Amino acid sequence: MPVTDAMSPAEQAELRGKCRVFLAAHGSQTAADLLACIPGDTVTDRYGEGGVVAELEREIAGLLGKPAAVFVPSGTMAQQSVLRVHADQRQRRTVLFHPMCHLEKHEGMAYQRLHGLTGRAVGDANRLIGIGDLTAVGEPVAALLIELPQRDLGGQQPDWADLEAQVAWARERGAAVHLDGARLWESAVGYGRAPDEIAALFDTVYVSFYKGIGALPGCCVAGPGDIIAEVRDWRQRMGGTLFGLWPNAASALASLRRRLPMMPGYLRHARAIAAALDGLDGVRVVPDPPQVPMMHLLLATSRPCFLAAVRRLAVERQTWTWPNAMTTLDPGVQRVELSVGDATCKLAPDEVRDIIADLIRG
């Protein structure tokens, strides 16, 4: 296979297949692994009603301290739906969010084209939203979306007092406050607070199941009963009420019960890895120390050298790191995201340090 400065999906699959060691998250989860977490006695649903889907919705509502929850196949569908409901209820169209918000960067402006919402990015892309960014907004606002933790900043999150101040600002202006909690499970352990304590600040909360807890795709939105009922309507309108949602819901329920208690260990390991990387030339940890069980690494290497090292590690050491790196303003610096999960925890911090050192040697 020819060596290029971009790795195709086919090459990624081939190289991953050679590996026995995985650096990030829960490692290589095969179809058999994912299906194995669905209990054989799972009770199926019918168009999202009953069975394990209802069981998952009850569990999430309880975990987050909300009256109701609804299972949705994708976070894109979930967040657009709930923000549409908030906007309709208030007869306002403007939604505030961080410049790196998923709705703005990865959804083809669907919030605008499908739902007639007006997105307004506040603050700077390279730092968290602060209360000063919000007080500069003069127009009426339908909702403030806050992402915890902020993935594109390496998993940073505001201190608790600042978070409370942002929520209070929105409420004083009659705006809803919605939590993009795709990684709420990680956020909770970072704050040292239960998920429902964080969720209590927000009107509605979105949580993902395939990210930190490694389940099949899917998510839930939790909040007041009337809002969740409207989100169910939008799930149907947007094609998300499939005949059977039970495989994904069952996977979510099993993975949640298995991995949620493991989050404190993931955070301890993330911080131990950051400490092991301290002083390694050509590597910076962002943030340092990690605030949640993830971090970004800034590596002093070029993209071609990085990819050459990835390929070499996969072939020579049967170790899988990343298929690509995120570019930065400096071509000699690559950014990668290290989410800590089961696979990462199998590696001692010094072993992780050795792998990263090998990457930047090219």
Domains of the chain (ranges; CATH) run 9-29+262-361 (3.90.1150.10), 37-259 (3.40.640.10)
pTM: 0.96
pLDDT in tens, 248-305: 999 999 999 999 999 999 999 999 999 999 999 999 999 999 999 999 999 999 999 9
199: left (phi over 0), alpha (psi -120 to 50) or beta: alpha
- Residues 102, 104, 110: CA angle, nearest 5 degrees: 100
140, HSE (Cβ side, Cα atoms, 13 Å): 9
pLDDT in tens, 115-152: 999 999 999 999 999 999 999 999 999 999 999 999 99
The residues, ordered by sequence, that sit 6+ positions from 299 with a Cβ below 8 Å of its Cβ are 282, 283, 306, 325, 333, 334, 335, 336, 356, 359, 360
Provide the pairing of β-strand 294-299 with 283-286: antiparallel
From first to last of the 362 residues of the chain, give the pLDDT tens digit.
Answer: 344 568 899 999 999 999 999 999 999 989 999 999 999 999 999 999 999 999 999 999 999 999 999 999 999 999 999 999 999 999 999 999 999 999 999 999 999 999 999 999 999 999 999 999 999 999 999 999 999 999 999 999 999 999 999 999 999 999 999 999 999 999 999 999 999 999 999 999 999 999 999 999 999 999 999 999 999 999 999 999 999 999 999 999 999 999 999 999 999 999 999 999 999 999 999 999 999 999 999 999 999 999 999 999 999 999 999 999 999 999 999 999 999 999 999 999 999 999 999 999 86
Provide the pairing of β-strand 143-147 with 334-339: unpaired
| Distance between CA atoms of residues 180 and 247, nearest Å | 24
* Cis check: omega of the bond before 290, within 30 degrees of 0: no
Rg of the chain (C-alpha set) = 21
